[in-house]
Structure 1
Amino acid sequence: MARAEFNFCFPFRVRYSEIDGQKVVFNAHYLTYFDTAITEYFRELGYDYMAQVERTGTDFHTVRTLVDYKRPILFDDEIEVHVRTARIGRSSIGFAVEIHPQGKDDLYASGEVVWVNTDQTSHKSAPVPEELVPLLEGFEKKGLRG
C-alpha cells in the first residue's frame, strides 16, 4: 500500500538500543513500533481504551501478528509507522501496519495485528464495544464490518 492509503502515522527515530550486532533494528522491535503506533492511533481517535477496560470488564488481547520485512531499518533512521483498521469482526479488530522512511513511500516493513476483545472474568471472546465501531469507521471513512 502507499502511505496515502493511511489516515494515521506515528514517527520514530531509531535508537541505539533497538539495533542488533548487524546495526539493523532487531526484529522484535518492529512489534513494539506496531504496538506503540496502534496506541497512538487510539489516542488520535479520542478513545479511552483504559476506561473501556474499567467500564466493561473486557480487554483486547493480541492473537495474531505478522511482519513482512522488506528492507533493513538502521540506527538513527527516521521512520513513520502507519496504521489503519482493516476489518472489524464480532469480537475482533484487524489492523494493517506499514513502516516507511519519514516522508517517503519506500517500504521498510508491512504487517498485521489482530486483537480479540475478551471478557476478563470468563476469558471468552466478547463483542467489540459498540461505541468504538463508529469511531473507527468514521476515522477510516468506510465500513469495516465483515
Structure 2
Amino acid sequence: MTPNLANFKYKTPIHIRFSDMDAFGHVNNAIYLTYFEIARGDYWTNIIEWDWDEMGIILGRSEIDYRKPITLNDTIVCYVRTSRVGNSSFDVEYILSKVVDDKEDICTTGKTVCISYDYKSNKSMPIPDKQRKKMIAYDEPRLIMNS
C-alpha cells in the first residue's frame, strides 16, 4: 500500500545526529522509533494537548516499514496522525520523508498502538474525552475508524 501524504496534516522536522548513524553510513534501524517518538511527542503537545498530569500513555505495539535509507546529510520530516480511536487505545501512523529538490521522498512508514494508561492504578483507562475529541477533530472523522 502506498502511503498518502494528503491524509496527514501534522508534520515536524527531525534533526539527524551523527550518533544515529550505523557502520554503513545510514540511520540505524532502531533510531526510527526515536524519530517517531519525537514527532509523536510534538503532535501530542501541540495538537492533542495531552494532559500528562491526568493520564499517561504506553506503547502496546510498534511497526516499521523501511523503504529507503536515510543518511546524515538528508533533510527529513515526520508526518503524524491518529488513524484509529478505541476506548483506551488508539493508533498513530507515521511517514518519514526526505526533502529532495523541494519534493518529498517517502523513506519509512510506521504505526504504533498507544494505550491511555493510569500509572497510579497501574492499568489502562479510557482516553480522556478532551483528547479523544481533539484527535478526531484534527485528523478528520472520515479517516478515523472508531472501535
TM-score over 0.5 for the pair = yes
Query: What code does the residue aligned with 1:92 have?
Result: S
The alignment status of 1:63 with 2:60, answered yes or no, reads: yes
Which residue pairs with 1:96 in the alignment? Answer: 93
After TM superposition, list the pairs within 5 Å mapping 1:2-21 onto structure 2: 2-21=4-23
Identify the match of residue 37 of structure 1 among 24, 30, 39: 39
Q: Tell me whether 24-33 or 120-129 shows the greater mean CA deviation.
A: 120-129
Query: Matched residues in 2 for 1:117 and 1:13: separation?
Result: 28
Residue 72 of structure 1 aligns with an amino acid whose one-letter code is P
SS at match of 2:123: coil
1:5-61 Cα distance to aligned partner (Å, 9 max, x none): 2101111242211101100101111001000001111222160x3xx232x3x3110
| Aligned equivalent of 1:112 | 111
Separation in 1 of the partners of 2:62 and 2:43?
Answer: 17
User: 1:4 deviation in Å?
Assistant: 2.1
Aligned to 1:93, what secondary structure does the other structure show?
A: strand
> Comparing both structures, which one devotes a greater share of its residues to strand?
2
Unaligned runs of 5+ in 2: none
Q: Which runs of 4 or more aligned residues in structure 1 lie more than 4 Å from their structure 2 counterparts after TM superposition?
A: none
Give the drift of 1:138. 1.2
Q: CA deviation at 1:76?
A: 1.5
Once superposed, what is the RMSD of the aligned Cα atoms? 1.5
Task: Give unmatched runs, 5+ long, in structure 1.
Answer: none
Letter in 2 for 1:130: D
Distance 1:28 1:104 in 2: 26
Distance 1:129 1:119 in 2: 11
- Confirm or deny: 8 A CA contact 1:15 1:76 kept in the other structure: no
Match of 1:81 among 74, 78, 100: 78
Q: 1:86 to 1:118 in 2, by over 3 A?
A: same
Q: String of CA shifts for 1:83-129, please: whole Å, max 9, x gaps.
A: 01010110011001111112534221100011111221332210000
